[in-house]
Chains A and B, each alone.
Chain A
Amino acid sequence: MTNNVLEELKASIPKELVEEIRLSKAKSNIVEIVIKPENLRKIALHLRNLGFNYFIGIETIDWWKKDNTFELIYMFSSIERNGQLVFVRFKIPRDNPVVDSIHDIFPLAYYQEIENYEFFGVVFRNHGGLRKWILEGNWDGPPPLRKDFDSRKWVLEKYYGGKRYERPI
């Protein structure tokens, strides 16, 4: 079943848009598509036309020490294909993290992109509503989930007066 999807994706998606289509290392029933960041919108449209129209979420991984990039993983699924998961992954430079928004193709992406913006500082082009959303009113530091920033230490210094234990020992 998964192998069929793998073959189908290999046949139907143009070769110049993707770098690699493979089975996931974690679970063998997930197909991973490695692409270049500029082809994201085309791939998203392709996947939607192929029936992968059930958008699940966006994940950002901060590879700060490894190669100074953000890795973005877009998760798609398909109801008509028995919940087959497809991960689209690519890397963008950490100094200039800009990527196209896909919120007009998948409505939930609008909120997932806000979340990734406020926790990692990834900027989504043509989004139009990037702001602090979950963190509004209770965080004024840099994006908290970045690896080069020790948010735990920052919280202790800012909100707890430098004490690990907020009460006298």
Chain B
Amino acid sequence: MVLGAIILGLKYLFTRPYTRLVPEKERPFKTETTRGKHVLYMDKCTGCTMCQRVCPADAIQMVRVEGDWKRNKKKIFPRIDLHRCTFCAMCVEVCPTGALAMTDITGWELTTEDKEKTIYMPYELSEPEPPYRITVSKNEWLPPPPFYSKKKLIEKTSNK
């Protein structure tokens, strides 16, 4: 038993520590699906305000951006406050044109000393800092899940 403890101790002497040196050596822990900061494709956005209406944390407001937008006649785009955002991806899911997506920029990369900087304007959202990876986009819901109706319910119960 004592020998076993010594061997175990020696084994852990040569293994890597469980702690990670963020940001000096490594980036924060994340997987292929971690939801993080948004990305906004301004050429796809139509300014329909669905993301603002669905947001449960009230983090999205529409702001006016001057310019020549072919699809966005009202010239309004979402502005996202990541201080309030819960990263639930409801806005990505509800967006009819797929103008919003989520990257894996999260954790340490989003920390800031100035509280005002957590509000991201449309231009800042459209160009996230690399390296990043798109983790949640409209493709997750393509083809769209079937819409549930009374007819389907009857079909389903009759099959059983």
Contact = CB atoms under 8 A, between A and B. Distances in A.
Touch A–B, Cβ below 8 Å: yes
Interface residues of A, number: 4
A39 B141 CA distance: 53
Contacts of B115: 167
A76 B58 CA distance: 38
A169 B118 CA distance: 12
Nearest to B63: A169
A169 B59 CA distance: 12
B126 interface: no
Nearest to B84: A165
Interface in A144-169: 164-165, 167, 169
Interface string B102-136: 00000000000001100000000000000000000
A167 B119 CA distance: 10
B61 interface: yes
Interface in B23-64: 58, 61
A165 B36 CA distance: 22
A169 B116 CA distance: 9
A167 B58 CA distance: 13
B53 to A, nearest CB: 14
A85 B61 CA distance: 45
Contacts of A165: 58, 61
B68 to A, nearest CB: 26
Contacts of B61: 165, 169
A167 B115 CA distance: 10
Nearest to B83: A167
A51 to B, nearest CB: 34
Interface in A117-169: 164-165, 167, 169
Interface in B56-98: 58, 61
A70 B58 CA distance: 31
Contacts of B58: 164-165
B65 to A, nearest CB: 15
Contacts of A164: 58
6 contacts: A164-B58, A165-B58, A165-B61, A167-B115, A167-B116, A169-B61
Interface of A: 164-165, 167, 169
Q: Which 6 A-B pairs have the closest CB atoms?
A: A169-B61, A167-B115, A164-B58, A167-B116, A165-B58, A165-B61
